[in-house]
Amino acid sequence: MIITKVETFVLHVPITPPITDAINAASHWGLSGVNIHTDEGIVGCGYTGTCAHGDDMIVDTIERYYAPELIGKDPFMVKELWDSLRYGKMHWIGRAGITHMALAAVDIALWDIMAKAANRPLWQYLGGHKSKGIKAYNTNGGWLNWSTDRLLKDVTEIVEQGFTGVKIKVGKPDPHEDYERVKAVRQAIGDQTLFMIDVNQQWNVNTAMTWGKRLEEFNLFWLEEPLNPDDIMGHKKLADALNVPIAIGEHVYTKHAFRDYIHAGAIEYCQVDVTRVAGITEWLQVAGLAAAYDIPLCPHVGEMGQIHQHLVASTPGAFMLEYIPWIRHIFEEPATVKDGFYVLPERPGASTDIIPHYFNEYRVR
């Protein structure tokens, strides 16, 4: 099998209503992606996720620097291709961020090709671990721009739908307001529901230490991304001092950075995202590293769960997956949660094929 053509795309899918967290405001979710064609008629689709900003730089990287290196190559040599792109022409100017996210899209498309060629869903092609579905928690009711009334209505409905875990955003200018929202949510969902909070990097160490301690009374399952993601030592201080486990990974881009977090004792739940590390190839390496230290995985869904459902279903240390439904309607086999569990995909590939109608409707490049 040989790669014959590489086509990039950018989709902007509306988010209704628009949402905010402590550092982002989003009205659309961006898919910067690539369709890789082969001489056997199999087409692999891969993409990364954005807040609909910077997509042009990601696909420019694919078009100008990665695509020429792929033409004529065997997609089954995915790890060799990963190395050649990672340590190729773009290595000098970027070892994370834009170039890494571009590589993620390419790598995902290659794995999609291989699973399709094997006529297996990716989670089986990788070696299945969970045959009865994946426990899901829901983030889509806890946005920072929600009023308290809207927040409580949404998290209550999420629990009634069968989800056993909810996550809300914190990071208000006044942490007292965060405290009151967390208190209200815990009272609304009861003591048996897993409850996580996400700071989105908004606090410094002192704020996190003070309010992390105060919020312990609400039996939080984890405290997510409390600090700048480059501050490994700050996260270590929190991990040592707080009784709430620290979750990090959404903005950690490389296996080496995860290694340093793990060795420092600064991470207690690993949220490695396949669209931030350079695709499935590097995701699997991080998963192996976490497994060696018995650190549980629960990925951040920058691709909204389509690919991660396969990775979690094939990874022993991955125990749960985030659910955000913003873009699921555009896929031929959308990520689906029933009674609190992801229903495992059945079609060959990585569940990345997009319905043509929506591809054309949301395409901006």
Give the contacts of 185 (CB within 8 A, at least 6 positions apart).
142, 151, 152, 155, 166, 168, 195
- Tell the residue number behind the tokens 């396969």, with chain if given: 310
pLDDT in tens, 39-50: 999 999 999 999
- Dist. CA 321–CA 76, nearest whole Å: 28
| Same domain flag for 73 and 182 | no
pLDDT in tens, 312-338: 999 999 999 999 999 999 999 999 999
| Same domain flag for 232 and 337 | yes
Give the contacts of 244 (CB within 8 A, at least 6 positions apart).
212, 215, 216, 220, 222, 223
Is the residue at 286 inside a domain?
Answer: yes
Q: Which of 235, 300, 308, 310 is catalytic?
A: 300
| Same domain flag for 127 and 224 | yes
Quick one: pLDDT at residue 94?
Answer: 84
What does DSSP assign to residue 44? Answer: E
Q: Is 300 a catalytic residue?
A: yes
Is the residue at 20 inside a domain?
Answer: yes
CATH code (residue 143): 3.20.20.120
| CB-based burial label for 345 (10 Å; 0-12, 13-18, 19+) | buried
| Same domain flag for 185 and 333 | yes
Helix or strand or coil: residue 176? helix
When divided into structural domains, the chain yields a total of 2
pTM of the model: 0.97
| Same domain flag for 90 and 177 | no
| Same domain flag for 173 and 36 | no
Is the residue at 351 inside a domain?
Answer: no
Quick one: pLDDT at residue 74?
Answer: 98
Per the structure, the complete domain to which residue 101 belongs is given by: 3-119+356-362
| Same domain flag for 128 and 213 | yes
| Same domain flag for 224 and 143 | yes
Is the residue at 96 inside a domain?
Answer: yes
| Same domain flag for 179 and 109 | no
For 265-291, give the DSSP string.
T--SEE---TTTTTSHHHHHHHHHHHH
| CB-based burial label for 172 (10 Å; 0-12, 13-18, 19+) | middle
pLDDT in tens, 155-209: 999 999 999 999 999 999 999 999 999 999 999 999 999 999 999 999 999 999 9
Q: Is 169 a catalytic residue?
A: yes
Nearest by Cα to 183 from 145, 225, 224, 155: 155
Is the residue at 347 inside a domain?
Answer: no
Is the residue at 274 inside a domain?
Answer: yes
CATH code (residue 36): 3.30.390.10
Is the residue at 142 inside a domain?
Answer: yes
| Same domain flag for 191 and 314 | yes
| Same domain flag for 87 and 13 | yes
- Tell the residue number behind the tokens 């946005």, with chain if given: 143
Q: Which of 169, 235, 251, 255 is catalytic?
A: 169
> 223: how many CB neighbours lie within 10 A of its CB?
28
| Same domain flag for 302 and 204 | yes
Work out the mean pLDDT of the chain and round it to a whole number: 97
CB 82 within 8 A of CB 281: yes
Is the residue at 349 inside a domain?
Answer: no
Taking only the tens of pLDDT, the chain with its 365 residues reads 999 999 999 999 999 999 999 999 999 999 999 999 999 999 999 999 999 999 999 999 999 999 999 999 999 999 999 999 999 999 898 889 999 999 999 999 999 999 999 999 999 999 999 999 999 999 999 999 999 999 999 999 999 999 999 999 999 999 999 999 999 999 999 999 999 999 999 999 999 999 999 999 999 999 999 999 999 999 999 999 999 999 999 999 999 999 999 999 999 999 999 999 999 999 999 999 999 999 999 999 999 999 999 999 999 999 999 999 999 999 999 999 999 999 999 999 999 999 999 999 999 99
